[in-house]
Amino acid sequence: MSAVLRAAGVTFRAGDTALVDAVDLDLDPGEVLGIVGPNGAGKSTLLGLLAGDLVPDEGEVLLDGRPVGAHRPLELARRRAVLPQSTVLQFAFRVLEVVMMGRYPHREATPADDDASVEAAMARADIGHLRHRMFPTLSGGERARASFARVLAQDSPIVLLDEPSASLDVRHQELVMSVLRSLADAGGSVAAILHDLNLAARHADRVAVMSGGKVVEAGPTAEVLRADLLTAVYQHPVAVVPHPELDCPLVLPLRG
């Protein structure tokens, strides 16, 4: 199965520093790809390159076999949706209006189609009861879920997310990851930056571990999330044991 999104030898520099350094990485249909690594590893920069929001200094990013920069903005928005670390809005939009922003790429859709997509997205993100709240009045987790609903309403087959679970409680972390899993199971492609290694262990098909701007290793989750690799990358002792109830690794930070 050919990759829908591919980074080929991609490098991005800030001055003399390579924030992303000669990275090769594929995103395939039907998978959840977890991108993990310590702070400053280059994860967000890589996601910006994959999204086409940043232009590499070397190498290229291919979307459907074409350079991502060759796609028109509207075409790009229909193919991939992006959830940044935080959403900053200059005006006090209601939650319903924020989610409706995700429908902009589908300007040919009927109002009924737009309404159906927005209602479904809000239900999946568990924010239907917040529809009339002003976005700035929401808690951090509620804002994150409203922004997630906007991404879902975009109905794009490729979804790129930067720390989608960071400000969420346990129930909503699992809700978001379950939705992403369902998108992939339906044939979509999901790449998510995750700081919680156990969320990656439970939900990702493959994991890419980054450090110093490089992808140190990428592959099936159970093969990549190893104690030796994680201890070296995070510079902190880590144990990895079988999960007592689930068929996945359990990552346990140890005392340093």
Lowest-confidence region among 18-32, 53-67, 78-92, 98-112: 78-92
Q: What is the pLDDT of residue 91?
A: 74
In angstroms, the CA 14 to CA 82 distance is 22
Identify the band that residue 2 occupies on the pLDDT scale cut at 50, 70 and 90: confident
Amino acid at 146: A
How far is the CA of 172 from the CAs of 35, 36, 131, 206, 208, in angstroms? 20, 20, 17, 22, 24
Using the 8-state DSSP alphabet, how is residue 138 labeled?
Answer: S
Amino acid at 231: T
List strands edge to edge, sheet with 206-211.
80-83, 158-162, 189-193, 31-36, 206-211, 214-220
CA torsion angle for 146, 150, 155, 160 (degrees, to 10)? Answer: -90
To the nearest whole number, what is the mean pLDDT of the chain? 95
In angstroms, the CA 103 to CA 61 distance is 25
Domains of the chain: 5-253 (3.40.50.300)
Identify the band that residue 90 occupies on the pLDDT scale cut at 50, 70 and 90: low
How far is the CA of 247 from the CAs of 31, 103, 201, in angstroms? 17, 37, 9
pLDDT mean over 195-208: 97
Q: What is the pLDDT of residue 1?
A: 60
In angstroms, the CA 196 to CA 182 distance is 20
pTM for the predicted model, two decimal places = 0.95
